[in-house]
Structure 1
């Protein structure tokens, strides 16, 4: 039985006007008049619903997380222009993929949260809010459609008899001719593209393998339901996709940008927890700089949309993390305020999620405030206590299936009478659990001053929780790290993989008092050679208290870093031990260097096989003396793969890597860092700029190159307000 569509859709059914050599651009064309596709042959085809059924289009899955479709589906007036703004669609758009029968439960339903338009043809890449794991994407053709070639179109538009069919339909077309970016073709046996087929795939089968040759763009719509009976032409124009493989691959494999206002430009948030707000010392603030020259905003707790109120010594912004928590295409900012007083409970701490929106952070959806003793799950079950310092460490991201998660450290939590035993909260969907050293499967026992949760990290495959105060054997503050999977086990927590310390088998050195193994952590996904996905993780572990020996001379707190590979099956193995006494590594170990005080890892091509040039690590050495400048600090960069000495590069203020300034006493370069897929961000809150600064070094510079443009954000420059005290202590 035909299903009626809202009357407003009839305006989209206007036929295209013929000219001798071309068709005019009009609102999207519609569904194939050919037969229903009863099997999964065209499972990669997607149905798109724009707005409240304002438009219906088709599309095609070209990556687990990306569709190709027509720009005209999203253009405000496609008859006048195919221009589509990059970023979040202006109207909510839903895609149904892998469901030839729309009444079934096959495939997946996803929201489209980002558009990446082409400017040279009727095409956009459309990112889904989560990957599609049960449908195989189609590959792109590498050669143009040829005259006389037969292509099959699949789409969800109208048919000869239905306005809104519930089945995918297909039809054969013969290619008439090709231009640089398009081709003309004619439907065979009366088949035509109809309204709703725009963006649908035209498929070539070569050697039994389907390839995407083009996308449906324009049609005469002869024989389609609602078309004037005098219109019998079945020809149309399609958009070629051959030659776009590199463009699609570059976009689909790129690391996710921090984009708080959903415009496709990279944004940066930097914390200044020591800043005064309304003359309240160390109340704390966060400055957000929007990319593409769209200005900045200063966030603090005296704003109406930020929970709480500014108070002395809160240190709002002591920890930051970013993730699209509500999956709407805009990055959300997670802010830790570990010294927040909750009622009369001093330094209990809390965590705030400020949601991104096209208008900016916090100006759309109301903030989510996570306070112990409120809400749901484990956070509700555990009331705030003095000195919990909830939010002292934060990690956020998405699992391999695309589900957002938060990992929150509360290293000051007292458990079973042990002061500062510590725990971490793990939140993902309906999962809200606490993890500590009495959790089933977690190796170790609760003890005073363990500070479990003082550091946290995560990848799409695993999470890691540091307890740098852990006693190993009889060695106090030797430190340990617990590694878990995202999958919740029968005990109701993320499944433990291993707890690692320097006395563990296969780990270099030995646990010694004051080592603080796990003081800093950073983790990225890793795809080994031969694997089909990035199913492993590489974890960098900083041990800044490590004493190093050169001959008979010891250097307390010289520091070192260990890199660990965690496989999908749960095997943990050491990749490398890195310090300034390793062959080929620049510098010489010295007491108080603190090598590994901060670590920042990046995978610049997360979907590709990991290589020495894409798996990168920055190590902070904030206590390093440079010339006569004590504690000037440096950053050293390495590949996460191979021998450390093969890829070591040295960054100090003013050298050829491009970090501005000159080395100065107590600048502590390397103590405040963040790594993204595009830049190594280095905070210099202690000078030489009076109120601090943040510098973004392109990885090309950070890994030994010169000349690439370094980004600098500094209070008082380029529109950033001249406020704050130590800008750049936290960067995301």
Structure 2
């Protein structure tokens, strides 16, 4: 194209982009004079129809990953004629995608909600994350070079045709490439074919690979375009050079984002905080990333269930998941010592929904307590000391369906006090799991404490019973593992039970080991697999007695961690134990009595899409009983690789060692009691001091893995950084 023509296109392009959005007030599909796609033709099956709001805008997109579409930024800009800038994060208006459906009246392909926008700043391109993966349509691969001038490329879209405003079928056409720039290409439609309003963001393909997206067009011949306008020229946005951006975007770990702005947020529990005149009522402090403010949440707010009362311990456990799949992270928060009616310490938990202005600006909360609501909980009876919500976990299945798992360790089974149970929430219902549930290994016994620890990932969930007696050894502990596949009774399918007397495990069940007192599961992609089909389970045994230096010293309560690999089919193998070091190895720390290593665990996959490795799969182990010098129970955190051997792959974190926790070791600080690993940070809570109110330190991942370069940590503390003053056990939980 001549430079004059390019300028004219630039001037018209923004208006065309606006038209492609605003004028498609109802679903539109096609290319002027193009070819309607037959149902049996899957050539452009990766095409998608985008609908913004109540059909306020419509455009096209391309499936480039099971969870992600690529489209035009002009589909989402407030005024494309003025600017293509689009905020990152959740869409401003509800947005849906119909993927792989050539006939919009059909049922093939899938329908999904768009929950996140990731814009480019250098061209008319955005990535769109869907609420769930699309597994029945194959994504298109990106080309590695732009087509040369003179090449013919194919394009598709869900825009108007020459005669129809809103045809119900995908259309295709062909361009000649006239010239290219670093980020775009000028094209001319062949045989009277042109991109029309609604085609913006649709695929442009050369040699079966995606080279660009429809961006701008003169729209010659399109419905309601001046008949004097006959030009079929247009501009496409190049994508052949975006493979690295695509890979890094789709491969990152998801973040906590309560207000949907694409910046990581954090919720911090202080379950002993005073609310009004109510001591130990508890609260949660939320810090929105990017300097967007803080909020303190307690049960005296009208959008939170219940009311603040002494001893509720609201905020003692937290979990996060986008439960209603709207692009805003939701907070699951428990008050496990809450009285339900006259029943003392029965406990409950809630989902507090995120929204454009953060927590509380979304839908009304969902409340879970025994004897109310729906599902199995409705028929349950609240009893004194049940402590529902004493442990929480949440996530999504491999298919993308959100779930929540809550421990109820004080639940009685008939006359058996503290046998324990767990509540599994998925969709609009819930089920209760216990050791009396069909096929669950073991049997309910008094003081089993089933539900003391819960964990899960996309493949499996696990429930710990650290009080379980094994072969007469009280408090030896065990656990049960389930898949998300529901059995005939609607319960998660039992995979296995496990204790230290299992022949696969290199150990032995002993009284007081507390096997299963802490759990962490993380999914990963094994070599040869396309997705994260396998999982590694870390099991804490904080009461474990270990042999110290020289093989003679018996260190009671030294504690440790067992690692177990689960295959996709549920079969499993013991990997190894993680402990502190001895004089005979190069592992950090020293095995000592009372360290209680494994009291808390948090695992993370730093590269969820890549084949799992020693550098991507990490676990943080809390060692709250660690004595440092004269400081008893100063505590520490020990990080390990879930795959690589300890020594070269472990790191020790304590106060004042340069990794980010300030000061020097302090007696009773019990560092490691509260830890949470994300894809970007390790959050370490110090609810017991030395800061009187408690504090949380966010340590960048590089600070807590071998070979990383330490940078400044972020401090969260009442009275600082906009967090309201006042606190008791601030940092007891953090998500």
**TM bucket, shorter chain:** over 0.9
Report the equivalent of 1:731.
734
**CA distance in 2 between partners of 1:119 and 1:174 (Å):** 27
**CA distance in 2 between partners of 1:415 and 1:17 (Å):** 79
Contact 2:617 2:642 in 1 (8 A): yes
SS in structure 1 opposite 2:247?
helix
Report the equivalent of 1:4.
none
Report the equivalent of 1:47.
49
**CA distance in 2 between partners of 1:581 and 1:258 (Å):** 34
Contact 1:23 1:236 in 2 (8 A): no
**CA distance in 2 between partners of 1:153 and 1:558 (Å):** 65
**Which stretches of structure 1, 4 residues or more, deviate above 3 A after TM superposition?**
16-24
Q: Deviation at 1:688?
A: 2.2
**CA distance in 1 between partners of 2:375 and 2:515 (Å):** 31
**CA distance in 2 between partners of 1:478 and 1:133 (Å):** 43
Is 1:642–2:634 an aligned residue pair? no
Listed one character per residue, the Cα deviations across residues 657-698 of structure 1 (whole Å, up to 9, x for unaligned) are: 222221110110111100111111100112222211111111
2:463 to 438, 458, 465: 465
**CA distance in 1 between partners of 2:408 and 2:374 (Å):** 17
**CA distance in 2 between partners of 1:64 and 1:547 (Å):** 47
Q: Deviation at 1:360?
A: 1.4
Q: Deviation at 1:439?
A: 1.4
Is 1:543–2:553 an aligned residue pair? no
Bigger Cα displacement from structure 2, 576-585 vs 269-278: 576-585
Taking structure 1 as reference, are residues 270 and 188 closer, same or farther at Cα in structure 2, changes over 3 Å only? same
Q: Deviation at 1:568?
A: 0.7
Is 1:494–2:497 an aligned residue pair? no
SS in structure 2 opposite 1:26?
helix
Contact 1:305 1:363 in 2 (8 A): no
Q: Deviation at 1:464?
A: 0.5
Report the equivalent of 2:200.
198
Report the equivalent of 1:7.
none
Listed one character per residue, the Cα deviations across residues 333-390 of structure 1 (whole Å, up to 9, x for unaligned) are: 0001100001100000000110000111012211111111111111111021111100
**CA distance in 2 between partners of 1:617 and 1:78 (Å):** 46
**CA distance in 2 between partners of 1:18 and 1:264 (Å):** 34
2:620 to 618, 621, 625: 618
TM-score, structure 2 length as denominator? 0.95
Listed one character per residue, the Cα deviations across residues 623-663 of structure 1 (whole Å, up to 9, x for unaligned) are: 11111111101111111002122311110111122222211
Report the equivalent of 2:350.
352
2:110 to 80, 88, 108: 108
Listed one character per residue, the Cα deviations across residues 495-551 of structure 1 (whole Å, up to 9, x for unaligned) are: 111101100121121000000001001111011111111011111110000011233
2:717 to 696, 714, 722: 714
Q: Deviation at 1:20?
A: 5.3
Contact 2:71 2:127 in 1 (8 A): yes
Q: 1:247-326 maps to which residues of 2 (within 5 A)?
A: 247-326=245-324
Report the equivalent of 2:151.
149
**CA distance in 1 between partners of 2:639 and 2:578 (Å):** 11
Report the equivalent of 1:441.
439
SS in structure 2 opposite 1:251?
helix
Report the equivalent of 1:556.
556
Q: Deviation at 1:229?
A: 1.2
SS in structure 1 opposite 2:195?
coil
Ranges in structure 2 where 5+ consecutive residues have no aligned partner: 21-29
**CA distance in 2 between partners of 1:581 and 1:657 (Å):** 20
Is 1:67–2:66 an aligned residue pair? no
**CA distance in 1 between partners of 2:147 and 2:93 (Å):** 33
Q: Deviation at 1:102?
A: 0.8
Q: Deviation at 1:492?
A: 2.3
**CA distance in 1 between partners of 2:522 and 2:403 (Å):** 15
**CA distance in 1 between partners of 2:404 and 2:724 (Å):** 31
Aligned residues: 713
2:15 to 26, 34, 39: 26
Report the equivalent of 1:575.
575
Q: Deviation at 1:21?
A: 6.9
**CA distance in 1 between partners of 2:605 and 2:192 (Å):** 51
Is 1:244–2:246 an aligned residue pair? no
Ranges in structure 1 where 5+ consecutive residues have no aligned partner: 1-15
Taking structure 1 as reference, are residues 500 and 603 closer, same or farther at Cα in structure 2, changes over 3 Å only? same
Listed one character per residue, the Cα deviations across residues 272-312 of structure 1 (whole Å, up to 9, x for unaligned) are: 10111112111001100000000110111111111100000
**CA distance in 2 between partners of 1:41 and 1:645 (Å):** 52
Contact 1:656 1:706 in 2 (8 A): no
TM-score, structure 1 length as denominator? 0.96
Report the equivalent of 1:12.
none
**CA distance in 2 between partners of 1:552 and 1:111 (Å):** 61
Report the equivalent of 2:508.
510
Contact 2:270 2:730 in 1 (8 A): yes
**CA distance in 2 between partners of 1:20 and 1:493 (Å):** 62
Report the equivalent of 2:99.
97
Listed one character per residue, the Cα deviations across residues 139-173 of structure 1 (whole Å, up to 9, x for unaligned) are: 11111221011111111101111111111100011
Report the equivalent of 1:528.
526
Contact 1:406 1:428 in 2 (8 A): yes
2:423 to 422, 425, 431: 425
Taking structure 1 as reference, are residues 491 and 21 closer, same or farther at Cα in structure 2, changes over 3 Å only? closer
